[in-house]
Amino acid sequence: MMVVDCLEHEGTRLLLHENIAPALRWLKSGETELLPPGKYELQGQSLYAIVDEYMTRPQEACRLETHRRYIDVQYVVRGSERMGYAPAMLMKPEGPYDAERDIQFHRGRADFLLLRKGMFAVMLPADAHMPGVAVDGQPAAVKKIVVKVALSL
């Protein structure tokens, strides 16, 4: 069950999983807007953020993915992108699970929504998601923060 919302509405979303609360508080703190790309440890490997700047890509160049050990909280700092979503149980695995990177790629049909500046999406392990898809097929610059939240802190 993927959750999508704006950061200022995050209060009700804290019920999803107790470990998401510190991630949303950090994103809302205002410290994140000017961070350069890189990895930021918030609570060691239990809670960390990856700040990235990239160009969105055509849907055909993107892949559905899931994670087993981490929840993704993806927050758009600048720009917008389409995000694909589908229940992982309806997808076909594509290759083996990469335990080191905590990622499994999938094939299947996804539904898409638009993530704009100030919006976040929370993906649980059961949520296959396809980030970084260009809006209207036109590549554009995006700055995004992905907070990786361990299922057990």
- Give the chain's residues under pLDDT 70: 1, 9-17, 153
The one-letter amino acid at 2: M
Q: Helix (H, G, I), strand (E, B), or coil: what is residue 102?
A: coil
CATH code assigned at 116 = 2.60.120.370
For residue 60, being part of any structural domain is answered with yes
For residue 39, being part of any structural domain is answered with no
State residue 22's pLDDT score.
Answer: 86
Domain count, the chain: 1
- Is this model's pTM higher than 0.95 or not? no
Measured distance CA(41)–CA(38) in Å, rounded: 10
**Structural domain harbouring 98:** 3-33+44-150
